[in-house]
Structure 1
Amino acid sequence: MLVALSDSQSRRDEELWKGLEALRQEVRAVGVELRNVRPVEQKSKPRPAGSPPRVGVFVDVQNMFYSARQLGGRLDFEKLLEVTVAGRRLVRAIAYVVTTPEVDQSKFVTMLRQKGYEVKAKELRKRIDGSAKGDWDMGMAIDIVRFSESLDVVVLVSGDGDFVDLVNLVKTKGPRVEVFSFDQNASRDLIEAADTYYPIGEDMLRPIGV
């Protein structure tokens, strides 16, 4: 069962998002773009020497779903997690899902949880004018900023160019940022902003219905 965010949580998220916007505007006001700011020392406890890097994986499921469909398949989420973690210490793996009332996605959500993901879901909302809104851009940004100080590597699985400013901001906090996406749907600006970009190949796809 999908549980809606409480009003108090929503307000806290809105306040944090406004804070991020204010920070970006402040940086721009002094003529310094985020992409040119060097990373600063992390506030969290430093990683012991010799221990594997701490990694967080954040998956824009909607973006990945439609990109995979364009290639005639569906993303292998189990293999995705294995490749993105790559032997490092996984701290968090979150999959952000947009649901619709017309389609039962409970089995899909269950599958993601079984593969090791924490699932956050929100329902696609219809506006009065007939348009629809249902993306996780703000929610993903808030989570990534919240967890970044306890991570050495942030893995963003998305090709959405709206995350460019977020990537640059996270890099100022210390973690490296790795972006995984299907190359044909990846924003060039996002690729440039990432410390490392990994194109997802067709070997990461499974046939639809399998």
Structure 2
Amino acid sequence: MTVSQPGQRVAVLADAQNLYHTARSLYSRNIDYDALLQEAVDDRELTRAIAYVIRADSPEEETFFEALVDIGFETRIKDIKTFQDGSKKADWDVGMSLDAVSLANHVDTVVLCTGDGDFARVCRYLRHEGCRVEAMGFEESSSEDLKAAVDGFIDMSDDSDRFLL
């Protein structure tokens, strides 16, 4: 669980693709980003909130991006890449990791909203540098490596009605 103290400076980095696909596959629902941000901040001082999203040219995505901004997130938007063989790729792992490292000297806690185990190494690095690291994700699809690498893990499945629309 979190060890929240008033005045603690927090950066919240949300891996929107990971959260979206997990919520859709487990619950056939969407993420409530307002509830996510409130839980991540937990009465501490929000320094930055960044949502990493993919533009896939679906009609409702601009409304979604605008809603994230209204909630308090900065959006980092990347276009989906389609390769010659028809496969598609888009992820923000490197960008999120670089932002986490860049922000670590300006905050007390970094909250990664993802279950992606690729972030375990950056979590260990941030902790080694003296930054508290928390993760929020769904237990069923969150990497054991990630959970072992953070100071606290919030299982969004414990209160799925709060975190899902």
Shared fold per TM-score greater than 0.5: yes
2:40 is aligned with 1:81:
no
- One of 70, 82, 101 as aligned partner of 1:114: 70
1:138 aligns with 2:97: no
- 1:153 and 2:109 matched: yes
Matched, 1:182 2:138: yes
Q: Which residue of 2 aligns with 1:56?
A: 11
- Once the 2 structures are TM-superposed, how far is the Cα of residue 157 of structure 1 from its aligned partner? 0.3
Alignment partner, residue 93 of structure 1: 49
**What TM-score results when the alignment is normalised by the length of structure 2?**
0.91
Residue equivalent to 2:164: 205
- Structure 1: 5+ residue runs without aligned partners? 1-49
Partner of 2:125 in structure 1? 169
Aligned partners of 2:59, 2:120: CA distance in 1, in Å?
Answer: 31
Within 5 Å, give how 1:3-82 maps onto structure 2.
52-70=7-25, 71-82=27-38
Bigger Rg, structure 1 or 2: 1
Quote the residue 1:47 is aligned against: none
Could you tell me which residue of structure 1 aligns to residue 148 of structure 2?
Answer: 192
Amino acid at match of 1:86: D
Tell me the percent identity: 36
TM-superposition CA deviations, 1:72-96 (whole Å, max 9, x none): 2111100111111000000000000
> CA distance change for structure 1 residues 114 and 122 in 2, over 3 Å: closer, same or farther?
same
Per-residue CA distance 1:161-197 (angstroms, 9 max, x = gap): 1111111111111111001001111001110111111
Distance 2:116 2:59 in 1: 24
Is the contact between residue 16 and residue 52 of structure 2 (CA under 8 Å) also seen in structure 1? yes
Check whether the contact 2:137–2:154 (CA below 8 A) recurs between aligned residues: yes
- Give the TM-score normalised by structure 1: 0.72
Q: What is the rounded CA distance, in whole Å, between the counterparts of 2:65 and 2:121 in structure 1?
A: 29
- CA distance in structure 1 between the partners assigned to 2:110 and 2:58 by the alignment: 34
